[in-house]
Structure 1
Amino acid sequence: MTNDFPNEPVSCCETCDFVLRIGIFFDGTLNNATNISHQRGKGFREEADDSYKSDYTNVWKLHKVYPRLHSQRTIKGERYIFGNFYIEGVGTDDLEDDDGWDSATGSWTTGIIAKTKKGGAAAWGFVDAYANCNIRRIELDIFGFSRGAATARHFANLIKKLDGIHTVSTFQAKDYGRRPRGWERKLEPTDAMRGPKRTLNQQRRYLYSVFSEIPTQIKFIGLFDTVPSVISSAIDHTAQNDDNGVVMTDLPPGIATEKVIHLTALNEQRGNFGLKSVLSNPVACDLPEVNEEGNHLEECMYGAHSDIGGGYVSKETKMELGTAESAAEKALEKGWIGEHVSKSCTSETSISPNFLMPTQNTTETCIIEGENGRIIRTREIIDNGYTTPIEEYETKMERDHVDGRYARIPLQKMHDYAVANTVPFKSLDPDKNPNDSQFLRDQVDLPEDLQSIRDKLMVHKEISSEELELLYKDYLHHSDNEKSIRFLPFITPHARHESGKRLIFPNKS
């Protein structure tokens, strides 16, 4: 039986004995559903901030199929009331400019800790609305993508550490009746933090109000490609390590009663996008595979970071492949532009007017056309006639259209894993949800050539070489890019890791 009263708390007299089930969804860095909706009313603009011009992620889509806020359902004889909260990604606020510093470091006012506090406050406010009622227990489902996955992990650890739903105190200064001396300045919680079924818990410089008298359990944790990438202090100047400062990303055994599911990106190789595994002995993730430790499951899937978590808009793409001589050949061999169709080269030569040592400069530009774009390789040859000529390469790739709908396969994967482990999602089948059929079709429908691939990947079957070629040509994204920051040519935030492989950090129990 289902009764929906969205956005309004249910009266205690109507629900004398019940369970609160709360879903919290932490979006990825520079992902913000409110900003996307706002921008779509104006049409796509390339100059807009990133959080306005991306697509909705899988985290947001799962949030939309979770039971609505304050809706009710009877499950196995128990009355449930649901909380459902979406928290926008690191580096963003609703209808505000993106914060470049926060998105680069994962810290500060829109960083991981700030988003954890926001999620905690939302859940705490929901429980507070029912604090005078008879609550049997609280059950949590926690989801996240990218740094949102790191936020989800930190939030889950805080729930366990504090033993309940919590909010950080809104402090007010203690009244001494005079100006306090430096050594006696203290802070007091506001009255709102006191009340039934809660206690105050001091942890370092934070004071939490915790619903510690209500049994609380994390049922399910669903993660899309966890990338903490935290620059945590003045000492830690790099995101390419497992030092995440105060952010708690390690998940102990048993933190979720049902399952911890982690979908990871097989084709992600950026140095600043190191993966935080949920396994103590993670695999290299070179091939699609599933590995388990206890109730932690990690599945490597084809795709780059946002092919797994969602957020790519279907459009043309351009990227700089770097200065390696072999860059063009490797991209062509991988099939990023499909089959080689044609190649054309032009050459220009000039002489530098140097009296002592005239130099001949030759620029050769080759355009390799493929089925879905082109690779442009420029070779500069500098020859002074005395020393060995210097050769410099620069390679770019343009793809005419990359379809973002592949991310709907990881969406369906996570949905199926979650439903199999008691998460109360609606079905993604439009025919089973006539009231939401158009929304679901917009979010889950796949082109015909991708459906057969989806069917195989959903049951862990190997796809054919032709199907893999199709993925690389039309659907998967080449995320590493040697393009530098404007005015800072020595910084390439999306460069491939020097090893050519992704950094993977183990989960420490």
Structure 2
Amino acid sequence: MAALAGDGTCIECEALTHWIELQVIDEHNKGFAGIKGLLTDGAGTEYEITLKDGPILVNKLAPGPVTLVLDNETWLAEAQTRKPDDGSDPEIAAELDKNLSKPGNKASVKVLQSVTTGDLIVLEGEQKLPEKHVATGCLSLIADNSYVIKVAGFNYITLRLGVFFDGTGNNTENALNGQQEIEEWLTKVCNDPTELEENLELCREGQLPVEGSYANDKTNVEKLYALYLNQFDEANSQLATGIYVEGIGTTEGESDNILGSAFSLGDTSIKARVEQVCEVLIKDELEKIQGNIEYDGVLKIIFDVFGFSRGAAAARHFVNTIDTKDDHGLVESLPTINGFSFKLGFDWTKREDSRIGFVGIFDTVESAVQDTLLGLSEDCAERVVHLCAGDEYRKNFPLTRITSDVEGRKIAPQFTEVMLPGAHSDVGGGYRSRHSYSANADAAMIEGSRLRYFVCSEREEAGKLHTDNKAYRDALSYAKLKLSEGWGDKIVTKVKGDKSYNDDFAFGEIGLKVKYRFIRRKNYKRKVIHVDVMLKRMVEGELSRIPLHMMFEAGYQAGAPFKEWKESNPDLKLNLKDRSLPIELKGIDSQLLKSACSSGVLDLRNQIDNKKYKLIRRYYCHHSSKNNGFVDGIVNSANIVNDLPVREYLANTPGEES
């Protein structure tokens, strides 16, 4: 039975007439609606509460001190997104003063309490708050009062990391070193009429003094890396930086790795590059820059991922390695950075914490011995753009599409796949431009190759022409196909024994070189005819700058933090240097630029006038398929189906190893 006072009233009932009014706000006067918690009165009675944007009133309390503990998970999830007030907006302080001037419950004067997150929750397990947010003990609540509780904001940042996987045989530093050697070769050999004839002959054939990654130019991956911002955006609390990854099969300052280049094996393989990014490269980059800013920790990481060729395959494998996964190298490597921390509750498996923002890939080619994960799921990234080479036909360069069918009819809503004029490196970059050199660069622009060869044998017949045979007819048919597509200006035949047989074909000529030999049989001679289809041209290196510009525009619209595009930049120029041609690329660039910004599958080859397309092929497209010997034939021969060069397509298959 409850004790009674002298006037007959219940002491316990009388004690439960007290109240408290609470309004929890951030430093910008915004509430925390929906957060639940426990309020405990002076008698130890607990009351479940739910915060809202305005004040909440709790009645029937015992007198005395009151404690407040909010739900750990939901409070941290919301409170850690709230920013501090930097004092730049005087309206924030004015709004708080206005709130405090209004009377509270029962005309009480509102009391302001400034606290930290640590004052409002009980930490669990190994949770550790940033130093500025640990409990201060400043929160003091007494029944029959109205409080405005202002919680300190978190100075968390978003990391936006651009990861740039260069292509097979592509390496920026090696390209720059090779450029210096080529410049010296052009100046001291090719442009010196007193040079030895045998050396000048190499110039006329376009035989560069370097090879492999040293002969290639910087790719579009490197150029996008150079355009990616490395800065802290204070307004959006975002720290952006780029990480360049050397191409498959290459190492700075060393000879290219044959196993890495040919089969994607060893420590320069697709898988090895992804592991290096997760375990070393991102960590090293953040160690360089993160000490330059003051922050409480990382709220979220957004990845922009780029790649070309097998680098595009590495980019896709990287996406599948980290998207909603917590078993990759970043989980272990980032916490080892001195002073680096995540928000409490950061979860690699949740896309609100770790998200792929933009994926920009050029002409994905895997051709690897190792199993890799190239299939991109529909929700793997906020935006995916794939620019593909419409004039690439090499047998060992099948295209792994981002469509779920090889025909290119089924594609995710936020995916874009675009087919463009040009061979593999005309889209991904790597062919040199005259803008790279101060000397006359004609010799560096020469492309001379045997495209295919045809062989037949037949019984020798007196008086029969050396061009009257199946090998020559097949070669002529192939040459006519190339002529009709715009690769050359005319077809020229040279037969063994002709005076001009050993002379070079002129620029623009599609050459048929006929040679023969005899095999003696018992009663007759058999004739073996061999016909080479040759192509020699001077090809400019600016075509890849159109897909570069397209990818830049698509990435920029998707939020990738790029610098301003400046046409005066020698790496971005579309106009030719030291040469005038019947077609210029600026108009084509303007026509195609925005195409990658809309979703779907586009074949832009069909949107270019046929006459213009032929001129593009003639002066800007490189003919990547060729057969200049046994090894070259294995690597670079065309994929022939029904006597025509046809590219093999592979479908996008999420979850499957390839």
TM range (shorter): 0.7 to 0.9
- Whose strand proportion is higher, 1 or 2? 1
1:122 aligns with 2:281: yes
1:144 aligns with 2:307: yes
Identity %: 26
What secondary structure does 1:397 align onto? strand
Partner Cα separation in structure 1 for residue 504 and residue 608 of structure 2: 28
Code of the aligned partner of 1:334: K
Q: Could you tell me whether the CA contact under 8 Å between 1:308 and 1:410 is conserved in 2?
A: yes
1:59 aligns with 2:207: no
Q: Could you tell me whether the CA contact under 8 Å between 2:453 and 2:530 is conserved in 1?
A: yes
Partner Cα separation in structure 2 for residue 442 and residue 125 of structure 1: 27
Report what 1:404 is aligned to: 541
Q: Which moved more, 1:455-464 or 1:270-279?
A: 455-464
Larger radius of gyration: 2
1:446 to 570, 575, 583: 575
Partner Cα separation in structure 2 for residue 191 and residue 370 of structure 1: 61
Partner Cα separation in structure 2 for residue 378 and residue 501 of structure 1: 26
Partner Cα separation in structure 2 for residue 151 and residue 31 of structure 1: 14
Code of the aligned partner of 1:262: H
5+ unaligned residues in a row in structure 1: which ranges?
1-11, 171-188, 200-208, 233-244, 285-289, 350-362, 431-436
Change (3 A) 1:346 1:226: closer
1:419 to 545, 556, 559: 556
Deviation (angstroms), 1:139: 0.8
1:102 aligns with 2:102: no
2:450 to 307, 314, 320: 320
2:478 to 308, 315, 330: 330
Report what 2:361 is aligned to: 223
Partner Cα separation in structure 2 for residue 80 and residue 409 of structure 1: 30
Code of the aligned partner of 1:330: Y
Change (3 A) 1:369 1:453: farther
Partner Cα separation in structure 2 for residue 119 and residue 34 of structure 1: 18
Report what 2:162 is aligned to: 23
Deviation (angstroms), 1:126: 4.6
Code of the aligned partner of 2:211: D
Deviation (angstroms), 1:380: 1.5
Partner Cα separation in structure 1 for residue 502 and residue 610 of structure 2: 28
1:272 aligns with 2:411: no
Q: Could you tell me whether the CA contact under 8 Å between 1:428 and 1:444 is conserved in 2?
A: no
Partner Cα separation in structure 1 for residue 520 and residue 351 of structure 2: 81
Q: Deviations over 1:301-325 (max 9, x none)?
A: 1111111101012511122222233
Change (3 A) 1:494 1:300: same
Q: How many correspondences in the alignment?
A: 423
Report what 2:615 is aligned to: 470
Deviation (angstroms), 1:379: 3.5
Report what 1:483 is aligned to: 628
Code of the aligned partner of 1:338: G
Q: Could you tell me whether the CA contact under 8 Å between 1:23 and 1:66 is conserved in 2?
A: yes
Q: Could you tell me whether the CA contact under 8 Å between 2:163 and 2:305 is conserved in 1?
A: yes
Deviation (angstroms), 1:376: 3.8
Deviation (angstroms), 1:390: 3.4
Q: Could you tell me whether the CA contact under 8 Å between 2:324 and 2:349 is conserved in 1?
A: no
1:88 aligns with 2:88: no
2:648 to 491, 503, 508: 503
Report what 1:37 is aligned to: 176
Change (3 A) 1:73 1:191: closer
Change (3 A) 1:365 1:371: closer
Partner Cα separation in structure 2 for residue 34 and residue 371 of structure 1: 32
Partner Cα separation in structure 1 for residue 651 and residue 351 of structure 2: 34
Code of the aligned partner of 1:400: R
Q: Deviations over 1:162-215 (max 9, x none)?
A: 248734879xxxxxxxxxxxxxxxxxx99779985499xxxxxxxxx9798991
Q: Could you tell me whether the CA contact under 8 Å between 2:446 and 2:539 is conserved in 1?
A: yes
Q: Could you tell me whether the CA contact under 8 Å between 2:494 and 2:513 is conserved in 1?
A: no
Q: Deviations over 1:254-274 (max 9, x none)?
A: 1002x1110111111111111
Report what 1:295 is aligned to: 414
Q: Deviations over 1:341-370 (max 9, x none)?
A: x74644439xxxxxxxxxxxxx99598966
Code of the aligned partner of 2:561: P
Change (3 A) 1:328 1:377: farther
Partner Cα separation in structure 2 for residue 425 and residue 99 of structure 1: 32
**Aligned ranges 1:125-204 → 2 under 5 Å:** 125-126=284-285, 129=290, 133-163=296-326, 166-167=329-330, 196-197=341-342
Partner Cα separation in structure 1 for residue 253 and residue 493 of structure 2: 47
Q: Could you tell me whether the CA contact under 8 Å between 1:343 and 1:366 is conserved in 2?
A: no
TM-score by structure 1 length?
0.74
Deviation (angstroms), 1:50: 0.8
Q: Could you tell me whether the CA contact under 8 Å between 2:170 and 2:219 is conserved in 1?
A: yes
Change (3 A) 1:210 1:417: closer
1:380 aligns with 2:542: no
What secondary structure does 1:348 align onto? coil
1:73 aligns with 2:239: no
Partner Cα separation in structure 1 for residue 479 and residue 550 of structure 2: 29
Q: Could you tell me whether the CA contact under 8 Å between 2:250 and 2:257 is conserved in 1?
A: yes
Code of the aligned partner of 2:261: S
Change (3 A) 1:19 1:91: same
Code of the aligned partner of 2:497: E
5+ unaligned residues in a row in structure 2: which ranges?
1-130, 133-153, 186-207, 434-444, 455-470, 577-582, 596-603
What secondary structure does 2:254 align onto? coil
1:493 aligns with 2:630: no
Partner Cα separation in structure 2 for residue 334 and residue 420 of structure 1: 38
Q: Deviations over 1:378-427 (max 9, x none)?
A: 24253758558434223142423111111111111111111121111123
Q: Could you tell me whether the CA contact under 8 Å between 1:150 and 1:226 is conserved in 2?
A: yes
Partner Cα separation in structure 2 for residue 298 and residue 231 of structure 1: 26
Q: Deviations over 1:206-233 (max 9, x none)?
A: xxx979899111101000000011023x
Q: Could you tell me whether the CA contact under 8 Å between 1:144 and 1:224 is conserved in 2?
A: yes
Report what 1:250 is aligned to: 375
Partner Cα separation in structure 2 for residue 124 and residue 198 of structure 1: 18
Code of the aligned partner of 1:275: L
Q: Could you tell me whether the CA contact under 8 Å between 1:139 and 1:219 is conserved in 2?
A: yes
Partner Cα separation in structure 2 for residue 492 and residue 507 of structure 1: 26
Code of the aligned partner of 2:264: G
Code of the aligned partner of 1:88: E
Code of the aligned partner of 1:139: I
What secondary structure does 2:210 align onto? coil
Report what 1:50 is aligned to: 212
